[in-house]
């Protein structure tokens, strides 16, 4: 019997242990520093911080290209000829990676492509939702699986809060004036994935340890997230006390399974160090 293989990009930030457990295959995106192209995941994230400290520039990122997808799909098929590939991709509205997968898939059979319209923990939430469906029903028809994943896409919500604006300023996403004003007032902006696009939404003022609680509460007011699983996202540098605080707070709110997702090279290049995020899948309309 054919086996379903789930695939995604490194920009999903799927934790390595869960990727291994569910046999999720991950194709790397790219991070460029000093005009050298690095595969995401092939270097420690701290290299990004060192690069910024040395140059005051943030790394640039690029999508996986069609040739890389072709090689990626060919490798899976050579190892598992009867596999059915379900690729859950990084939002097409922020990267050309999904279109590259579409082009590569034209040369293959039994590949199903789903634009997750999400990144990082939001994309990971969808991929791991699919993995759980497969674990619960290993013989599920691929059409039923794909339909369930597609139905989850608009219900997946990811929002994150950078600890500062240094990386956003260095990347040209905020002006020097906005950066100085926000720094003086200790303003923390939030970034959300809305209809597949990264959008700056609410701003919070105060210390990170305090505003993350308000941020969390507002997220739960906005979205009726399924309480069996929640993803908390952090980029390297987030204070461990804040991590403990928010994990405990999430459990107090009734979340049974809280999983930490650490951002890799691509996402950290945009959010910078010490960012905090939340991702989950909203209850379906017919849920209690």
pLDDT digits (tens, 9 = 90+) for 4-19: 999 999 999 999 999 9
**CATH match of 156-281 with 3.40.190.10:** no
Q: In a 3-state reduction of DSSP, which class is residue 166?
A: helix
Percent pLDDT > 90 in the chain is 76
For tokens 């939430």, name the residue: 125
CA distance 284 to 288: 9
Q: In a 3-state reduction of DSSP, which class is residue 108?
A: coil
Asked if residues 166 and 273 have their Cβ atoms less than 8 Å apart, the reply is no
pLDDT digits (tens, 9 = 90+) for 191-231: 888 898 878 788 888 888 999 999 999 999 999 999 889 99
- Burial (CB count <10 Å: 0-12, 13-18, 19+), residue 274: middle
For position 167, what pLDDT does the model report? 57
Partnered with residue 197 across adjacent β-strands are 194
Summary mean pLDDT of the chain = 90
| Comparison of pLDDT for 133 and 177, the residue scoring more | 133
pLDDT digits (tens, 9 = 90+) for 108-128: 999 999 999 999 999 999 999
- Burial (CB count <10 Å: 0-12, 13-18, 19+), residue 100: buried
Q: In a 3-state reduction of DSSP, which class is residue 90?
A: coil
Partnered with residue 276 across adjacent β-strands are 161, 234
For residue 7, give Cα distances in angstroms to 53, 197, 261: 34, 22, 17
pTM above 0.75, yes or no: yes
The pair phi, psi for residue 47, each rounded to 5°, is -60, -30
Please list the alpha-helical segments (H only) found in 80-187: 97-105, 120-136, 142-152, 166-170, 176-185
Q: In a 3-state reduction of DSSP, which class is residue 285?
A: coil
Domain residue ranges of the chain, discontinuous segments joined by +:
4-153, 156-281
Class for the domain spanning 4-153: alpha beta
């Amino acid at each position: 019997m054919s086996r379903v293989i789930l695939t995604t990009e490194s920009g999903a930030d799927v934790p390595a242990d869960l990727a291994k457990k569910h046999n999720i295959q991950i194709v790397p995106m790219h991070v460029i520093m000093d005009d050298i192209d690095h595969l995401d995941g092939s270097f420690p994230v701290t290299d990004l911080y060192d690069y910024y400290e040395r140059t005051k520039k943030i790394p640039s990122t690029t999508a996986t290209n069609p040739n890389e997808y072709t090689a990626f799909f060919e490798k899976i098929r050579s190892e598992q000829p009867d596999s059915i590939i379900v690729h859950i991709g990084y939002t097409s509205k922020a990267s050309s990676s999904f279109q590259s997968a579409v082009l590569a898939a034209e040369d293959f059979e039994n590949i199903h492509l789903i634009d997750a319209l999400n990144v990082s923990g939001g994309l990971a939430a969808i991929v791991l939702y699919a993995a759980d469906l497969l674990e619960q029903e290993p013989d599920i028809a691929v059409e039923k699986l794909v339909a369930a994943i597609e139905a989850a896409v608009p219900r997946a919500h990811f929002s994150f809060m950078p600890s500062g604006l240094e990386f956003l300023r260095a990347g040209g996403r905020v002006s020097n004036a906005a950066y100085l004003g926000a720094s003086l007032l200790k303003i923390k902006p939030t970034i959300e994935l809305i209809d597949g696009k990264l959008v700056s939404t609410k701003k919070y003022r105060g210390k990170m340890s305090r505003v993350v609680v308000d941020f969390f509460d507002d997220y739960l007011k906005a979205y009726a997230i399924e309480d069996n699983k929640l993803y908390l996202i952090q980029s390297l540098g987030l204070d461990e006390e804040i991590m403990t605080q928010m994990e405990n707070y999430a459990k107090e709110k009734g979340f049974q399974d809280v999983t930490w997702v650490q951002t890799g090279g691509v996402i950290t290049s945009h959010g910078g160090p010490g960012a905090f995020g939340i991702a989950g899948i909203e209850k379906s309309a017919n849920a209690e």
